[in-house]
Amino acid sequence: MYLEPERHRSPAISLTPLIDVVFILLVFFMLATRFGAWKDLPVSVVPSEAVERQDDKTWLELHVNAEGKVDWNGEALSLEQLGERLAGHDEAVLITGDPDAPLQAALAAVDVARAAGLKEVQLELLP
């Protein structure tokens, strides 16, 4: 009895699953990427004991509390109110913060003070 030998078919590699995976990765990276404009913030880190304040300047002292509000003379202000209040001043500004205060709120207060036209703004954070 004659048996015909089995023919070995070469396995075909399908590219469809590979294309699906690449497409899913592409969509994931497009959604996970932030297309915002990054800007550097010039910060000089100096211990607060090493900073010498000039006594001849008048300083406006602002304090960022744990809720992210800015205290000015005991009055809690939002960033919009702070910008309106700082618009008429030309003194130097010192911004301090609670240990639990969010850093973003302190940096936002610095941005508001600079946008109000104040030239000298210092940010003093606790270690």
Does the pTM surpass 0.75? The reply is no
Range of the domain at 100: 59-124
Q: Is 49 a domain residue?
A: no
Query: Residue 6 carries which side chain, given as an amino acid letter?
Result: E
pLDDT given for residue 6 in this prediction? 76
Tens of pLDDT along 12-70? Answer: 788 899 999 999 999 999 999 887 777 766 665 556 565 565 556 677 888 888 888 88
Q: Could you tell me whether strands 70-72 and 75-77 are parallel, antiparallel, or unpaired per DSSP bridges?
A: antiparallel
Q: Is 120 a domain residue?
A: yes
Q: Is 34 a domain residue?
A: no
The rounded distance, in Å, linking the Cα atoms of 65 and 76 is 9
**CATH code for the domain of 108:** 3.30.420.270
Number of domains within the chain: 1
Q: Is 16 a domain residue?
A: no
